[in-house]
Structure 1
Amino acid sequence: MDSIEKIRDKDDSIFRVVEEIMPAAYGLPEIERYKSTGTVMLSFFTRLGFLKTGILDVAETGNIYSFNVLFRSFLEHVLKVNYIFMRWVVEQNDIPGQEYLSLKPLEDLEYFKAWKWIADKSKDNMEKFPKELLKGLYPSLDKQKLKALEEIQAKFRYRQLIQAINAMLGESDINFLHKIVPNYSQLSSFMHGGPKADDFMQEYISEKNREKYLIETSDLTVMMFYSSVRWLFLMLAGIDNQYNSHLAKIHEEIKKYY
């Protein structure tokens, strides 16, 4: 069995190749016809990289609870970026990224609603209702557009993501979802403070079992992170075959370890 140190060695080795070829990917948002999707793919590369590093750091401390919170968040990020990438493969347009980015107003609305709740509980008055505040930020956002955004948001919920990805991959195929789905469901208890987390913690109370779990899951994290990097370069190569050599480099380096 590997150690966290050996997993870091794998990570460092593959990342050296990523650093070498990554400048090519930074030009994705400059490709006008895929500007939004390119921007989103790069954003997820950065976010997943931070989460991957955090997971390895926490694994070294043996803090399995924090580890599982991070890993559950990592899995959700992987699902979303995979969905966006696969839709791009199928649709060959910028709509996947545009839809994802269009959801910012709904996040702002939830923030305004939270302040409205505080104001109501403290018997204070907000000068404007949440939707009025939202209108101030997004003047063109009317009731019809808001409803359309809510329909887009539904596509990015867990079950819808799973169904959409499975449909694109093929229902009968063994794919990466068979690794993610059970873990995602089990780890939701850690993310949301559910009671099942106690059962999980009890299962790994033994130091030997806990260490085995942390090492195997850290290795899975590194593998999935570089799978997402490969999606980024598959997109580039799909746009222009001059990037085939970049894709080949990352693919060959990943193959050494996974």
Structure 2
Amino acid sequence: MRLDDAYTNSAHIPGGDRYYGQWEDAAAAFRAAQALSDCGVPYGPLPRQTIDFFHPDRLSLGTVIFFHGGYWMAGSPAMFSHLAAGAVDAGYACALPGYTLAPDARISQIVEEAVVAVDAIAARTTGPMYLVGHSAGGHLAARLGCADLARDWTGRVARIMPISPVGNLAPLMETSMNDILRLDPVEAEAQSPVSHAAPSVPVHIWVGADERPAFLEQARQLQKAWGCEVTIEPGRHHFDVIEGLEDPKSAMLRALFS
């Protein structure tokens, strides 16, 4: 369909198809080396309603909650375990929730699952929480900051960092992905962060300068709607922009914990 190429990433990134295997290998190596972890903790009855927890070797300063990407159709927490490394090294716990993928769930249902997942994380942790997500996960992190989804834990959220987020779902109705996502105009508007008022907590959007123009525009739209800070990181594309999460001294994590 008309916008298929605009929202395609792998074909426009050198070696793009290799990233998935690299992520899985790095994630498995991190889990094998991480003694302080609880993986596959259920927060609901469905197979993908689980959370992977990674803990620092000292009293936690708070919890980073990371939602994975994959256009709500692919991916899992186990593919991105290594992204907990920076938070854990900095003294924070990290929780990676899974969620039911389309077409088994619509985006509105996935958002509901994300809320329940954070309910469960909040019940198991203390201190501030940081909502982070990449791509479709960036949409979820941003969406959870909207007032209509406020919960008891909302006051514990210190910062929201949507990385390369999809803040406006409407363009996806003009892609072939919508055969699976099944977005309609009502759902697209209701579940688009740009359609909601800015959260009451600080938001810092992060996007790579070498991303597809559609993702740079998505970041600009969300920044304009919410009046929040945005970093366009030089030399980063849609797949390597998340690597800052692995380094406790990265500019990304310094911004998250500032």
**TM-score normalised per structure 2:** 0.30
Which structure: larger Rg?
Answer: 1
Structure 1 or 2: more helix by fraction? 1
**TM-score normalised per structure 1:** 0.30
Structure 1 or 2: more strand by fraction? 2
